[in-house]
C-alpha cells in the first residue's frame, strides 16, 4: 500500500458586516475537520498575505503554523505571503485551545 501526501487549501472571505463574531474561524474549522475526516487530507493549508493580521489569526486559531514564505506577483506588484498549515497528526493531537469556540487573541489588530 502506498501513502500519498494530500494537501487541501482552505480560504475565507466574509462580508465586513459579519467580521469579529468568530464566524470565519468556526466555518474554516468545520472545513478543516471535514478535510481530515472525509477527504483524507494529510495537511490543510492557507495562503495569507503578510499584512493580513485578521486572516493570520484565523489560521492560528485553526492550529496552523507558518511553513513557508513566498511572493505572489499581482498586477505588477510583489505581495509577500505566508503559507500556514496544520497536518493530520497535529490536528489529531490538538489541545482544547484549538477549538473554534476558544478566542485567544494572537496578533494585535488595529
Ligand X SMILES: CC(C)(COP(=O)(O)OP(=O)(O)OC[C@H]1O[C@@H](n2cnc3c(N)ncnc32)[C@H](O)[C@@H]1OP(=O)(O)O)[C@@H](O)C(=O)NCCC(=O)NCCS
Interacting residues with ligand X (CB under 6 A): 12-14, 19-25, 48-49, 52, 54-55, 57-58, 103, 105, 109
Q: What's the closest the beta carbon of residue 40 comes to ligand X, in angstroms?
A: 24
Which residue lies nearer to ligand X by CB, 10 or 41? Answer: 10
- Dihedral over alpha carbons 84, 95, 4, 10 (to 10 degrees): -40
The arrangement of strands across the sheet holding 43-49 comes to 7-9, 43-49, 77-87, 65-74
- Name the closest residue to ligand X (Cβ): 22
Q: What's the closest the beta carbon of residue 76 comes to ligand X, in angstroms?
A: 20
Do 71 and 79 meet the contact criterion of CB atoms below 8 Å apart?
yes
Which residue lies nearer to ligand X by CB, 31 or 54? Answer: 54
Q: What share of the chain is helix, strand, coil (3-state, %, to 5)?
A: 30, 30, 40
Which residue lies nearer to ligand X by CB, 76 or 108? Answer: 108
Amino acid at each position: 500500500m502506498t501513502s500519498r501526501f494530500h494537501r487541501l487549501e482552505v480560504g475565507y472571505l466574509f462580508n465586513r458586516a459579519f467580521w469579529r463574531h468568530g464566524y470565519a474561524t468556526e466555518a474554516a474549522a468545520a472545513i478543516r475537520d471535514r478535510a481530515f475526516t472525509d477527504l483524507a487530507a494529510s495537511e490543510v493549508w492557507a495562503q495569507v498575505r503578510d499584512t493580513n493580521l485578521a486572516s493570520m489569526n484565523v489560521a492560528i486559531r485553526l492550529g496552523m503554523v507558518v511553513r513557508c514564505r513566498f511572493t505572489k506577483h499581482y498586477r505588477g506588484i510583489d505581495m509577500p505571503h505566508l503559507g500556514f498549515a496544520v497536518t493530520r497528526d497535529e490536528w489529531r493531537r490538538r489541545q482544547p485551545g484549538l477549538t473554534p469556540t476558544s478566542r485567544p487573541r494572537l496578533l494585535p489588530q488595529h
